[in-house]
């Protein structure tokens, strides 16, 4: 287990909890009691491959081998639950597991599928989980495969993976809060995948519940007749059985044929320390059994199936998996990249065309990560490696900063993704790190044929400001855009509009989803929402506004590179790429931060922000003129010598720019997320 | 506890053979270390090993000052006889240990040494004279609290052998004196200075403090103007330092009192330097001003890194324990608590609690740090005494950082030596870390160069 003996920099990551729509602080507190044991669960799960903590009911402990041939395609339903954060997705999953006997009905079943500490603390799902349920309906046993999905669009990659294995979704909406930004985003993901959508209004037991209003919203926003909504209380179990009935009734079975040659889609994979890669698959055709030789279409490598089975939600080995079924497969793959998500598996003796896969996850937010102390680099590296094994959507690039030492530049799908990664690093590996302010990937369209030849492409992506090409070398710069959805009570419309305007956003549309709530769509530069947009939106709307965004491509933008100078010397690690309009305010703010965090020295220090050769902001750190003159009592120079030598040692660790000693703290203050 | 005693007692009187054995073991360590030992450390004893100054600490005070965190005790009762015996005993032990033949100056500090009986002072001086040469005109300073009682005994102290007084008047402003928790007023201070000047004309120093709570540059200047006509030929200037754990620290922390900011205290120091210089009191060290060359010889001894022997609870010393075959200077500290110190002296003849050997590099660090406190800085000749193998130019001349300090007008390195400019003196503590790093760099490059030579031969 990892032990980086360091200060725990909770402060770096916690703010997002506040900012994250609809996560209630009280909930976090309540759950924090379970932290220690939850932590153990995770480690056991990944390091020893068994999950000793969740000792499920008799069904699970017997571990009988199911004969999966009992479930023909007609009696299979594959579905997901999608919802805005905290609308009760995981609680509903718990109830479904209980009703179908996958887990015993006890009071302690809370978010059984949310295995990570961070998931339980934040009430979100990060990593999709799968559970196969056996459900009796009209005298027949149905196999219902519930594929749990992350609730946040940062994890929409996971969502779309899950959705590809499904034919239908349960769209959960809180009966009190109504449709929120992520409800909309998730709806469209399912809608575009042409899945059957069953709207479920949850929490009807709440005092302020207003299911009728929410029905109307669903009708208006999603164009789903209100009669189709199922009103439930997952907490109390009210009408949950109806949900299962409707799953069987409304969601079509998978269109897979057991007579076809075997093909399966890998929709998730995890790494098990002892058994190697565990791939979660959905069988699109045919059957696969233990001992079969299979081939991965992506790499063309062949493997023998050592073990396969269903997830209930823990692993139950079976002999065979048949068309339409969902399960896991272990076949001696040693690295996660061998089980590429979206890859197709087929039998060696019956080669097949690859199924359409997934777009690879695209990192949209980048941040530098450095160990608090360089001596912890190795330990941190192994922590990062372990964590990325199970989250292949994080891109990792080695980086080093003159001020912060060796580290990495990590790419995340979004801000929440970044925070969750950091929190997992802290909680599961006890690591403490410095995270720099997030940046987004810009692009430049090169002007000359020579440059294009040099780079091998007309368009280059710029992650590091040091690689920002000069204006004269490019036709134009491009910045990533997102389409943001904001849902808020109409009292706040004015304020929200001016906030968005300040963020260079362009309004796309706006309409009332009910009498008081407005849904606004804005096209934002991604850069404008990655830093503190959530915070401001939340605080100006007293917490009522929700926000979500989706990728909206790139647009041309007037970008410039801004340097920061100390007495005329540029400080490489502080350079930023920024929109022309924002240069002045950002330059001034960073100069002020530098002024406050660099200690006064023997010489005056000019702190400047510069665009090219033009200085656009300046602060001055005045020289100090005198040290403290303390009396040297009775020849006691030992104390004085000690102090001076400590200062001399400290000086060694400082980054020297020109004649200025800049302590690491100053860089951290300026670079880190606020 | 007894274990610790054993160690230090045993190590204090090792046999010569044992020490040599220790050396041999060190030499076995690494080739690099042995080279270094051969080339640097085997040269003769540090300079002036034959003489030292003596510091005697009197740990008692009548009252706790609100700013002081120094080693002092407010005794319920006090046995002057025992204290005298122990000071004498420790003086004798350490003088013999150092084998110095001459004591150049004596300083009685505290605490409040003017609370000691003049006979105690006389007895200690007597002991010094018995064990080493103490010239008749050697400087013997006593710190004095300017209370009526202190004033009354000045004459007896002179008779006991004191020939210089350092009077802690601190301030001539009654409010400030109250804030500082002093047990005298400005009237007492003036009378005491006057009496001292009569007794030791030209050999009286006054300590004054600035950056006091509520003080402005203007009020500080007017205080100085008030002081000039009454003071003698020496003034020591200190800035009030807020020490953790003192009453004043708490008062400032809770906002009850506030002290002037950095820019104000810089102005105070600057104006004091100007006012004193105008009055003919020349600055010769960061905190010290004198006219008619009435410098404190004892303090100059510290700044020139001469040997000194510290006697009394918590006293510090720097000398070569030649009687036990020592070849290197040691930094020594005596036991802090007076009662424990007394028991140790009675039992072992001394109360040395800590001994740290100063290697060649360590000694040069002190020479540098202390020497730069003086206006004259470190002369080439002075440096050569301690570092015959590398002169100031070799060590500091090529350094960019030093050149930058010179260009900034803070430091001067030339044929005469190394010193701070007028502006640089106020920033000494910021200059020193740079200088210490340069010294270290020089030593490291030297060791690696010698390792190279060693490999080649």
Asked if A626's CB is within 8 angstroms of B262's CB, the reply is yes
Q: What is residue B44's predicted lDDT score, i.e. its pLDDT?
A: 62
Q: Among candidates B124, B203, B112, which has minimal Cα distance to B160?
A: B124
**Cβ within 8 Å of residue A188, ≥6 positions away:** A550
Q: What is residue A62's predicted lDDT score, i.e. its pLDDT?
A: 44
Structural domains for chain B: 15-301 (3.80.30.20), 377-456 (no CATH)
Whether A81 has a pLDDT exceeding 70, the answer reads yes
Q: What is the mean pLDDT of residues B67-96?
A: 90
Asked if A631's CB is within 8 angstroms of B238's CB, the reply is yes
DSSP state of A647: H
Contacts of the segment A372-381: beta carbons below 8 A, 24+ positions apart: A372/A6, A372/A7, A372/A9, A372/A432, A372/A433, A372/A434, A373/A6, A374/A405, A374/A406, A376/A4, A376/A5, A376/A6, A376/A431, A376/A432, A377/A405, A377/A406, A377/A407, A379/A2, A379/A3, A379/A4, A379/A431, A380/A4, A380/A431, A380/A433
- Whether the CA torsion B382, B387, B389, B391 is positive or negative: it is negative
Q: What is residue A475's predicted lDDT score, i.e. its pLDDT?
A: 95
pLDDT tens track for A320-378: 999 999 999 999 888 777 777 778 899 999 988 877 666 666 788 888 888 888 888 99
Whether A276 has a pLDDT exceeding 90, the answer reads no
Whether B337 has a pLDDT exceeding 70, the answer reads yes
Q: What is residue B83's predicted lDDT score, i.e. its pLDDT?
A: 96
How big, in percent rounded to 5, are the helix, strand and coil portions of chain B?
50, 20, 30
Q: What is residue A39's predicted lDDT score, i.e. its pLDDT?
A: 24
Q: What is residue A6's predicted lDDT score, i.e. its pLDDT?
A: 33
Q: What is residue A361's predicted lDDT score, i.e. its pLDDT?
A: 65
Whether A51 has a pLDDT exceeding 60, the answer reads no
Q: What is residue A390's predicted lDDT score, i.e. its pLDDT?
A: 67
Angle at A172 between CA A168 and CA A173, to 5 degrees: 145
**HSE, side-chain direction, 13 A CA sphere, residue B230:** 22
Whether B211 has a pLDDT exceeding 50, the answer reads yes
Q: How far is A245 from A511, CA to CA, in rounded Å?
A: 34
Whether A21 has a pLDDT exceeding 70, the answer reads no
For tokens 């001894």, the residue is B301
Structure-block tokens of residue A81: 């639950």
Chain A environment of B315 (Cβ under 8 Å): 634-635
Q: How close does chain B come to A125, measured CA to CA in Å?
A: 48
Whether A611 has a pLDDT exceeding 90, the answer reads yes
Q: Among candidates A170, A171, A145, A150, which has minimal Cα distance to A160?
A: A150
Q: What is residue A30's predicted lDDT score, i.e. its pLDDT?
A: 29
Give the three-class secondary structure for B204. strand
Whether A48 has a pLDDT exceeding 70, the answer reads no
Backbone φ/ψ region at A49: left (φ over 0), alpha (ψ -120 to 50), beta = left
Q: What is residue A27's predicted lDDT score, i.e. its pLDDT?
A: 28
Find the CB nearest B109 among A630, A634, A651: A634
The structure's pTM equals 0.68
Q: What is residue A572's predicted lDDT score, i.e. its pLDDT?
A: 82
Question: Please, what is the average pLDDT of chain B?
Answer: 88
Give the three-class secondary structure for B326. coil
Q: Which residue of B has its CA nearest to A631?
A: B238
- Whether the CA torsion A276, A282, A288, A290 is positive or negative: it is positive
Q: How far is A113 from A143, CA to CA, in rounded Å?
A: 18
Q: What is residue B27's predicted lDDT score, i.e. its pLDDT?
A: 36
Query: How far does CA A112 lie from the centroid of its chain?
Result: 20
Q: How far is B282 from B294, CA to CA, in rounded Å?
A: 10
- Best of A605, A634, A648 to disrupt the B interface by mutation (most B CBs within 10 Å)? A634
Find the CB nearest B266 among A626, A650, A652: A626
Q: How far is A127 from A416, CA to CA, in rounded Å?
A: 13
Q: For the stretch A81-109, what's the b/e string if a residue is b when 16 or more beta carbons lie within 10 angstroms of its beta carbon?
A: bbbbbbbbbbbbbbbbbbbbbbbbeeeeb
Find residue B413's DSSP bridge partners.
Answer: B418
Select the more confidently predicted residue: B362 or A91.
B362
Q: Among candidates B100, B108, B290, which has minimal Cα distance to B205?
A: B290
Q: How many CB atoms lie within 10 A of CB A633?
A: 18
Q: What is residue A618's predicted lDDT score, i.e. its pLDDT?
A: 96
Whether A128 has a pLDDT exceeding 70, the answer reads no
**DSSP string over B94-124:** HHHHHT-SEEEEEEEEES-GGGS-HHHHHHH
Stated length of chain A: 674
Q: How far is B84 from A368, CA to CA, in rounded Å?
A: 67
Q: How far is B395 from B412, CA to CA, in rounded Å?
A: 14
Select the more confidently predicted residue: A407 or A573.
A407
Chain B environment of A641 (Cβ under 8 Å): 365-366, 369
Find the CB nearest B370 among A626, A629, A637: A637
Q: Among candidates A96, A77, A89, A78, which has minimal Cα distance to A183?
A: A89
Residue A432 Cα distances to A10, A73, A126, angstroms: 9, 49, 21
pLDDT tens track for A164-179: 778 999 999 999 999 9
Q: How close does chain B come to A641, measured CA to CA in Å?
A: 7
Asked if A638's CB is within 8 angstroms of B316's CB, the reply is yes
Q: How far is A388 from A383, CA to CA, in rounded Å?
A: 9
Whether A299 has a pLDDT exceeding 90, the answer reads no
Confidence label for A412 from pLDDT (cuts 50, 70 and 90): confident
Q: Among candidates B352, B319, B349, B317, which has minimal Cα distance to B336?
A: B352
Chain A environment of B263 (Cβ under 8 Å): 625
Chain B environment of A604 (Cβ under 8 Å): none
Q: What is residue B17's predicted lDDT score, i.e. its pLDDT?
A: 38
Asked if A630's CB is within 8 angstroms of B436's CB, the reply is no
Q: What is the mean pLDDT of residues A576-584?
A: 93
**HSE, side-chain direction, 13 A CA sphere, residue A65:** 9
% pLDDT > 90, chain B: 78
For tokens 């990937």, the residue is A441
Q: What is residue B218's predicted lDDT score, i.e. its pLDDT?
A: 95
Q: How close does chain B come to A105, measured CA to CA in Å?
A: 58
Crossing angle of helices B118-131 and B148-160, in 10° steps, is 30
Give yes or no for a contact between A387 and A437, defined as CB atoms under 8 angstroms apart: no
Whether B267 has a pLDDT exceeding 90, the answer reads yes
pLDDT tens track for A428-449: 777 778 888 788 999 999 998 8
Q: What is residue A112's predicted lDDT score, i.e. its pLDDT?
A: 58
Q: What is residue A110's predicted lDDT score, i.e. its pLDDT?
A: 63
Residue A588 Cα distances to A439, A619, A662, B124, angstroms: 19, 8, 19, 67
Confidence label for B7 from pLDDT (cuts 50, 70 and 90): very low
Pairing of strands A614-621, A605-611: antiparallel
Give the three-class secondary structure for B31. helix
Whether B438 has a pLDDT exceeding 60, the answer reads yes
Asked if A659's CB is within 8 angstroms of B430's CB, the reply is no
Give the three-class secondary structure for A7. coil
Chain A environment of B269 (Cβ under 8 Å): 626, 629
- Best of A627, A658, A660 to disrupt the B interface by mutation (most B CBs within 10 Å)? A627
For tokens 């609809």, the residue is A22
Question: Please, what is the average pLDDT of chain A?
Answer: 81
Q: Which residue of B has its CA nearest to A599?
A: B430
Q: What is residue A22's predicted lDDT score, i.e. its pLDDT?
A: 31
Q: What is the mean pLDDT of residues B60-85?
A: 86
- Whether the CA torsion B162, B163, B169, B172 is positive or negative: it is positive
Confidence label for B396 from pLDDT (cuts 50, 70 and 90): very high
Q: What is residue A101's predicted lDDT score, i.e. its pLDDT?
A: 76
Backbone angles phi, psi at A638, to 5 degrees: -60, -45
pLDDT tens track for B163-188: 999 999 999 999 999 999 998 999 99
Asked if B437's CB is within 8 angstroms of A648's CB, the reply is yes
Whether A18 has a pLDDT exceeding 90, the answer reads no
Q: For the stretch B299-310, what's the b/e string if a residue is b when 16 or more beta carbons lie within 10 angstroms of its beta carbon?
A: bbbbbbbbbbbb
Whether A58 has a pLDDT exceeding 70, the answer reads no
């Amino acid at each position: 287990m990892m032990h980086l003996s360091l200060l725990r920099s909770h402060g770096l990551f916690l703010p997002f909890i506040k900012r994250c729509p609809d996560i209630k602080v009280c909930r976090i507190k309540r759950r924090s009691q379970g932290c220690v044991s939850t932590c153990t669960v995770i480690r056991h799960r990944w390091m020893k491959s068994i999950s000793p903590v969740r000792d499920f009911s008799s069904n699970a402990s017997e571990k009988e081998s199911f004969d999966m041939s009992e479930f023909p395609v007609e009696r299979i339903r594959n579905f997901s639950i999608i919802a805005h954060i905290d609308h009760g997705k995981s609680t509903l999953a718990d109830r479904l597991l209980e009703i179908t006997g996958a887990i015993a009905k006890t009071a302690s079943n809370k978010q059984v599928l949310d295995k990570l500490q961070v998931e339980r603390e934040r009430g979100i799902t990060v990593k999709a989980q799968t559970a196969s349920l056996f459900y009796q309906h009209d005298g027949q046993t149905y196999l219902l495969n519930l594929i749990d999905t992350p609730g946040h669009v940062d994890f929409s990659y996971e969502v779309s993976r899950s959705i590809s294995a499904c034919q239908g979704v349960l769209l959960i909406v809180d009966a009190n809060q109504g449709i929120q930004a992520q409800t909309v985003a998730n709806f469209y993901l399912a809608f575009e995948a042409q899945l059957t959508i069953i709207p479920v209004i949850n929490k009807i037991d709440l005092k302020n519940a207003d299911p009728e209003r929410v029905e109307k919203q669903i009708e208006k926003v999603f164009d789903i007749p209100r009669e189709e909504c199922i009103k439930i209380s997952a907490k109390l179990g009210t009408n949950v059985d109806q949900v299962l009935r409707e799953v069987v009734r409304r969601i079509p079975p998978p269109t897979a044929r057991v007579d076809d040659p075997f093909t399966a889609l890998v929709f998730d994979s995890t790494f098990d320390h002892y058994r190697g890669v565990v791939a979660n698959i959905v069988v699109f055709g045919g059957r696969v059994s233990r001992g079969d030789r299979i081939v991965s279409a992506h790499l063309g490598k062949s493997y023998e199936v050592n073990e396969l089975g269903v997830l209930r939600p823990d692993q139950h080995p079976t002999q065979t998996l048949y068309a339409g079924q969902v399960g896991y497969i272990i076949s001696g793959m040693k690295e996660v990249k061998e089980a590429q998500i979206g890859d197709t598996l087929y039998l060696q003796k019956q080669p097949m065309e690859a199924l359409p896969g997934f777009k690879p996850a695209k990192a949209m937010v980048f941040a530098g990560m450095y160990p608090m102390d360089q001596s912890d680099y190795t330990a941190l590296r192994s922590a990062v490696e372990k964590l990325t094994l199970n989250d292949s959507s994080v891109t990792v690039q080695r980086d080093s900063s003159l001020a912060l030492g060796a580290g990495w530049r990590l790419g995340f799908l979004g801000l929440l993704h970044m925070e969750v990664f950091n929190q997992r690093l802290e909680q599961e590996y006890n690591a403490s790190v410095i995270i720099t302010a997030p940046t987004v990937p810009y692009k430049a369209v090169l002007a000359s044929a020579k440059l294009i030849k040099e780079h091998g492409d007309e368009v280059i992506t710029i992650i590091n400001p040091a690689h920002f090409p000069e204006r004269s070398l490019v036709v134009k710069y491009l910045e990533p855009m997102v389409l943001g959805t904001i849902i808020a009570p109409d009292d706040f419309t004015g304020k929200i509009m001016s906030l968005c305007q300040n963020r260079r956003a362009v309004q796309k549309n706006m309409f009332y989803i009910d009498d008081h709530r407005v849904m606004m769509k804005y096209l934002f530069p991604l850069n404008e929402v990655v830093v503190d947009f959530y915070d401001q939106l939340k605080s100006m709307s007293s917490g009522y506004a929700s926000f979500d965004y989706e990728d909206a491509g790139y647009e041309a933008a007037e970008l410039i590179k801004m340097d920061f100078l100390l007495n005329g010397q540029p400080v490489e690690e502080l350079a930023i790429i920024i929109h022309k309009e924002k240069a002045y305010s950002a330059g001034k703010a960073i100069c002020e931060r530098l002024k406050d965090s660099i200690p006064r020295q023997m010489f005056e220090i000019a702190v400047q922000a510069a665009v090219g050769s033009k200085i656009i902001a300046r602060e001055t750190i005045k020289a100090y003129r005198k040290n403290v003159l303390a009396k040297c009592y009775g020849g006691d120079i030992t104390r004085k010598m000690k102090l001076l030598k400590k200062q001399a040692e400290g000086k060694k660790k400082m980054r020297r720019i020109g004649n200025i000693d800049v302590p690491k703290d100053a860089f951290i203050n300026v670079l880190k997320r606020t | 506890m007894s274990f610790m005693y054993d160690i230090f007692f045993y190590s204090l009187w090792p046999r010569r053979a044992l020490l040599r054995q220790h050396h041999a073991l060190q030499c076995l360590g690494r080739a690099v270390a042995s080279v270094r030992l051969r080339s640097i450390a085997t040269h003769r004893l540090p300079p002036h090993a034959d003489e030292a100054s003596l510091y005697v600490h009197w740990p008692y005070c009548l009252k706790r000052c609100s700013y002081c965190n120094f080693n002092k005790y407010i005794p319920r009762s006090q046995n002057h006889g025992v204290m005298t015996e122990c000071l004498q005993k420790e003086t004798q032990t350490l003088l013999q240990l150092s084998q110095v033949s001459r004591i150049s100056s004596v300083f009685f500090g505290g605490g409040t040494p003017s609370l000691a009986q003049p006979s105690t002072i006389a007895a200690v001086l007597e002991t010094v004279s018995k064990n080493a040469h103490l010239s008749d005109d050697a400087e013997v300073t006593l710190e004095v609290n300017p209370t009526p009682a202190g004033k009354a005994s000045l004459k007896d102290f002179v008779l006991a052998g004191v020939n210089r007084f350092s009077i802690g008047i601190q301030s001539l402003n009654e409010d400030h004196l109250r804030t500082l928790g002093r047990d005298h007023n400005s009237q007492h201070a003036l009378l005491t200075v006057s009496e001292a000047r009569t007794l030791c004309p030209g050999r009286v120093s006054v300590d004054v403090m600035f950056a006091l709570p509520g003080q402005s540059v203007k009020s500080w200047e007017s205080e100085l103007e008030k002081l000039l006509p009454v003071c003698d030929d020496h003034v020591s200037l200190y800035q009030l330092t807020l020490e953790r754990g003192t009453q004043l620290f708490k008062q400032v922390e809770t906002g009850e009192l506030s002290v002037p900011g950095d820019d104000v205290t810089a102005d105070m120091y600057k104006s004091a330097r100007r006012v004193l210089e105008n009055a003919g009191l020349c600055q010769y060290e960061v905190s010290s001003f004198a006219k008619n060359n009435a410098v404190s010889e004892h303090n100059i001894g510290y700044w020139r890194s001469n040997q000194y022997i510290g006697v009394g609870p918590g006293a510090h010393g720097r000398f070569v324990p030649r009687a036990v075959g020592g070849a290197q200077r040691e930094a020594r500290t005596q036991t802090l608590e007076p009662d424990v110190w007394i028991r140790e002296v009675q039992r072992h003849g001394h109360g040395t609690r800590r001994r740290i050997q100063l290697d060649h590099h360590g000694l040069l660090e002190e020479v540098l740090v202390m020497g730069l406190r003086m206006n004259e800085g470190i002369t080439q000749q002075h440096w050569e005494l301690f570092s015959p193998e590398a002169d100031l130019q070799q060590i500091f001349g090529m350094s960019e950082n030093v050149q930058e300090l010179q260009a900034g007008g803070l430091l001067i390195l030339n044929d005469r030596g190394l010193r701070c400019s007028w502006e640089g003196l106020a920033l000494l503590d910021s200059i020193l870390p740079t200088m210490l790093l340069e010294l270290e760099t020089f030593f490291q490059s030297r060791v690696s160069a010698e390792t190279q030579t060693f490999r080649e031969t």
